[in-house]
Structure 1
């Protein structure tokens, strides 16, 4: 068994730094261990400060099956309540080189896979500080793990992030923030009709009605939602083919261009569908999809994970037509309190949603007091990313000036 075998942090350090008994224990679990914790995960989602489907243990299992040599793991935090152990935290990760970096050092990477869009751990809202402190100690004491944690797209506007800042301060450390942005989310008490009337201008709504009417003149136009596992499986295959046929396929960025990424999406949506946590929204014309949206669920949160449309119909704004449909469907579903767009920023057609989620890329040090290693490597990374951002801005400005001539 590897050095990353399941263990309790209390076996490594039975007391906190101040010498007090640890109230939360943490284990580092592999995919086999996670596979038997479905009921505990579902129960935790009902108590979570921030539900996050990208921490779902099932997805860790899918990723581990596709990349058996990668170290896909999760921190599981437990607390004894009324004589029984209760799962109070899950933070999945892998170990490797940091993304978007020139550095070769091994670090803890969150989210654990490329197509994860939120790194916030799922933690019981009633014990955020204790759980985060115990999780960081479990990494700090584990000899087989790096001590620098890279967090891509962490929610910086929620209570979990505020708790992380408090914990880091108490440990004598501080995060290193890189990119910070805002992306669309849907969180409203309005119904679909009222929301879209408020979010879209009258001229935009009129144009979309015209697009829908003209598209329906070409055949039978139907908006569908599938959630049954076999129907989801078929829809994912249609999605992969549609995405591959467009510009992403030409650029080599479609999921189907990479066998591992396509296998991950198939496996992830299949596992989520088995738990009634996946859906595919589509607009079909004469039985063929025109636009599609893959949706994942975690408790009261939904995530519009991946979208694609048939570019032969791009003049009809098929993505916006579908957004109208699933916006109304989400707002009609009282079990959904928030929908995360999973966008990189607040540009694009999903910016029609009025609410925003604040996210940032950041690195943190699991060691108490920080370290020279962290300060040096995070400083290099910040310099590198700032230089890339400057170069990109200069390039875009150059392109703009060329077009204006």
Structure 2
């Protein structure tokens, strides 16, 4: 009794979404507020798959999966990308665990049957530990779909049970850095989960633009469209209590900022920035460390997703890891030319990215790794 419809994102989905995430897997990047901001601003062309349970006569939302149509050039074939917009870091669908065995195959069938959607799907940063991943692989096999596992990585992840590393050289250095920073002035941390975060988010944007990311042209303010979308998305999420900006301050001046997102019982450390003038105190790392404890001591937060990779500085702070995979899927018959072309492109891109990161590791100053 599962039905799937495909539509554009809308804030009308807010109430069914809130009900779904109370019992389903978490993915803040599928929040209708974020999706609507991306779609309305023209930042991404998003299609939302909605799975409904009709068995009781009352339609209940049991699955959401948002995908964008991506085309790297006019001559390149379009594909579906399950990271629904740039700056999203998780492609897994949000599915009620009681319905996962029915919803995932229904999602694939809906894409296959659609006349307007591409049949090749790029699944980057998919949670391989979620029930939806095992079900996805089973459904692809049962339906005779081609798929390719492109890469795997371990994402730093924290829970109260497998959370902060409480000993070791990193912990000792953090205590020293905090004490040295406290000698400079009055140090405090502010993280108000309020409806209006515009001032705090502008502080983050300025810190990021003044950092090494600004110099490299990768800060949000370096591209007006990116900054406009980010402002709209964070404002929309914060209005619903799903985003905040934590600030580390010295004498009431912000020296580090951490943008946080929330979905169900999970917090996401989306973006970090800090002042180069205070780099020797590791302010970005100090802020994450303090915020981790604050989040777990607050009501309702049971996990923190770093939105980052194994090599990030968060791996030094958190003992937990979550297995992530990148997949390429073709729900059409056989292996299409688009599937083969996209596989070649993504493998080539990954090799170039690894080469770039290797070169950067030789030229990067000591602390930029403390800012995503």
Superposed displacement of residue 109, structure 1: 1.3
Partner of 1:27: 5
Q: 1:204 to 1:233 in 2, by over 3 A?
A: same
Name the CA shift for 1:247/1:387 in 2 (closer, same or farther; >3 Å). Answer: closer
Q: Is the 8 A contact 1:189 1:331 kept in 2?
A: no
Contact map agreement 2:220 2:227 (CA 8 A) in 1? yes
Question: Please, which of 145, 148, 156 is the counterpart of residue 184 of structure 1?
Answer: 156
Deviation, structure 1 residue 66: 1.4
Correspondence 1:65 to 2:40: yes
CA drift at 1:233: 1.3
For 2:352, which of 388, 399, 404 is the aligned residue? 388
| 1:378 CA displacement | 4.6
1:376 aligns with 2:340: yes
Equivalent pair of 1:224/1:282 in contact (CA under 8 Å): yes
The count of aligned residue pairs is 363
Residue 351 (structure 1) shift: 3.3
TM-aligned CA deviation for residue 393 of structure 1: 8.3
Q: Which residue of 2 aligns with 1:306?
A: 271
**Structure with max Cα Rg:** 1
| 1:374–1:58 Cα change, 3 Å | same
TM-score, scaled relative to structure 2:
0.90
1:219 corresponds in structure 2 to 185
2:30 is matched with which residue: 55, 70, 77?
A: 55
1:36 alignment partner, SS class: helix
Aligned counterpart for 1:40 among listed residues 4, 9, 16 = 16
Q: 1:337 aligns with which of 269, 289, 302?
A: 302
Report the Cα offset of residue 389 of structure 1.
6.1
Shift in CA distance, 391/223, structure 1 to aligned 2, threshold 3 Å: closer
Conserved? CA contact 2:67–2:82, under 8 Å: yes
Asked if structure 1 preserves the Cα contact closer than 8 Å seen for 2:80 and 2:120, the reply is yes
Structure 2 regions of 5+ residues with no counterpart?
Answer: 364-372
Unaligned 5+ segments in structure 1 are: 1-22, 401-405
Greater Cα offset, 104-113 or 341-350: 341-350
2:156/2:314 contact within 8 Å kept: no
Distance in 2 (CA, whole Å) between partners of 1:340 and 1:373 is 36
Match of 2:109 in 1: 137
The Cα shift of 1:241 comes to 0.5
Report the RMSD for the aligned CA atoms in angstroms: 2.4
Question: 1:159 is matched with which residue?
Answer: 131
